[in-house]
Amino acid sequence: MDSPFLILVAGQPAAELRRHGGFDHWIRVAAGLERDAAVAIDVAAGAALPTFDAFAGVIVSGSAAMVTERQEWSERTSAWLAGAVEAGLPVLGICYGHQLLAHALGGTVVDNPAGRRMGTFDVELLPAAREDALLSPLPGRFPAQMTHVQHVSVAPPGAVVLARAEHDPCHAFRVGDSAWGMQFHPEFSAAHMRGYIRARARVLVEEGFDDRALLRQVGATPQARRVLRRFVHHSRNAAR
């Protein structure tokens, strides 16, 4: 029997969207994992972190928190992630998880000087992605769901930068052969993205965005969504 995947829950969806489940549910469904093939641990609520050897891989969720806040649970998870990478456990960090993984491995996370990104935007693969286990099958440019304020301004030492987006030169990176950070949200559907824009409409307007225009631009992101299933496939093959 295959080992389960670990989902580290770093936060919860916007309150208006929690009727659709937590980030762990969204990730599990998008990754094609059965209920008993994933274990969710709410690290933001202070849950203890497990040993590395019981899991096929780990996926770190997004969060409304900021890596630069250096909250105790976040720093504890950061140290754990550094150990997981050193131990060879496959890791995929999503949004906050992407930033936390970068921080854990010596990269730099800051407020994006271009401000908030929320909606469906293009990701552009860099040449290194042509040889990457997760991204190589994807087109050179594809749409993805995004919602973030901070970003990775400096990738970790030795990291390979795989993709960029407008105002975000390190939108995806890999360290070694089994640790990835992705700023976009492969687990978000178009419905999730629209829900986020509606939930944050007041903030968006206050920051000078046209929330209705952002809603109109939301679309399906099937290529981005494939990343989670490819991570599961890659991790299971690596464990055999």
Segment 4-18, tens digit of pLDDT: 999 999 999 998 999
Active site residues: 95, 185, 187
* Location of structure tokens 């401000």: 115
Residue type, 109: V
Beta-carbon-side half-sphere exposure of residue 157 (alpha carbons within 13 Å): 2
The answer to whether residues 37 and 228 touch, using CB atoms and an 8 Å cutoff, is: no
Per the CB < 8 A criterion, the answer to whether 174 and 160 are in contact is: yes
Instruction: Note the pLDDT tens digit of each residue in 85-134.
Output: 999 999 999 999 999 999 999 999 999 999 999 999 999 999 999 999 99
Show the CA angle centred on residue 84, arms to residues 32 and 185, nearest 5°: 40
pTM, full prediction: 0.97
Retrieve residue 117's tokens. Answer: 């990104």
3-state secondary structure of 212: helix
